[in-house]
Amino acid sequence: MRAVHGTARHYDWGDTTFIPDLLGLPADGRPWAEWWVGTHPSAPSTLDDGSPLAATTGSLPWLLKVLSAAQPLSMQTHPDAEAARRGFQTGVFSDPNPKPELLVALTSFSALCGVRPIDATVALLNDLDLGAVAKRIDSEGSVVSLVDDLYRGDFDPGVVIEACRGADRPEARWVVDLDTRYPGEPSVAVALLLNLVELAPGEAIRLDAGNLHAYLSGSGLELMGSSDNVVRGGLTSKPVDVDLLLSTVDLTPLAEPVLPIADRYELPAAGVALDRVRTALTVESPTVVFESAGRFTLVEPGDLAEMPAGGYAVVPLEA
């Protein structure tokens, strides 16, 4: 077995201590937002001898990350395979690959993940004295036109934001918090239409193409397609593309955003899964394992892999 060395990403929303503490590296005061492990050309991993991980595994269809958010991330979505290929050809995207995601919480983790079922949103809006908005969504059976109007400036997000002030619902409190960071943005109001997810360590969410989401706080292990294609709608200082967002997003309600705790979390759109490691591990092809102590290890066929419980191995779905 050989150690796999990843690459840090120091985005402004990152936590300053979680990732370096996990990896046994010195904290340096910078925000450590992500730790990338894989063969993506933006940050390819290496082995102990300095050789590329790809020299042993070939180009991997997935990317593994530790993510640690001290502040909310942008409101965003990701393209499917066809949209990614088309966008790459026209220079819209940086690579031709889709970016489905799976996140397993390593700490308590808060996120906005997919559109809340319509009945639940109508009830929430009525509870916040937003009866006119509730009636509109109820009659249309969808949030599509409201989201479109918010992002195109045809509906004042302040109507939603002001109704949340002083409300005791956690969804409303997050709207107020986001408004302090990004005053009056459409994405602040859109946040009220999404599932507010609170994960305990070991619980997971899967974000397929088009899922509108924003990670809010906490640390987790992410498995995704080998892509860095992100379409942002707001809550960020990075470029926002409303037209691209509205053409990419899937606003179909997501009734059960949290995956039941399991020994395997599948990411079908990338053809891989995260398997929970118990103790021993036997593999048929080179496999990257995230150990509970924070190490990333390459296990090859024939290796005697005795590992502490609590880690995860990236495996092809047919395994």
For residues 244 and 221, give the distance between their C-alpha atoms in angstroms, rounded to a whole number: 28
For residues 21 and 50, give the distance between their C-alpha atoms in angstroms, rounded to a whole number: 23
Classify 89 in phi/psi space as left (phi over 0), alpha (psi -120 to 50) or beta: alpha
Q: How many CB atoms lie within 10 A of CB 108?
A: 13
Say if residues 196 and 170 touch (Cβ distance below 8 Å). Answer: yes
Say if residues 226 and 40 touch (Cβ distance below 8 Å). Answer: yes
* Nearest alpha carbon to residue 281 among 292, 268, 266, 271: 292
User: Residues 232, 276, 278, 295: which is the catalytic one?
Assistant: 232
Residue 232 among the catalytic residues: yes
Say if residues 62 and 229 touch (Cβ distance below 8 Å). Answer: no
For residues 223 and 290, give the distance between their C-alpha atoms in angstroms, rounded to a whole number: 11
For residues 201 and 261, give the distance between their C-alpha atoms in angstroms, rounded to a whole number: 10
For residues 160 and 81, give the distance between their C-alpha atoms in angstroms, rounded to a whole number: 34
- Residues designated as active site: 232
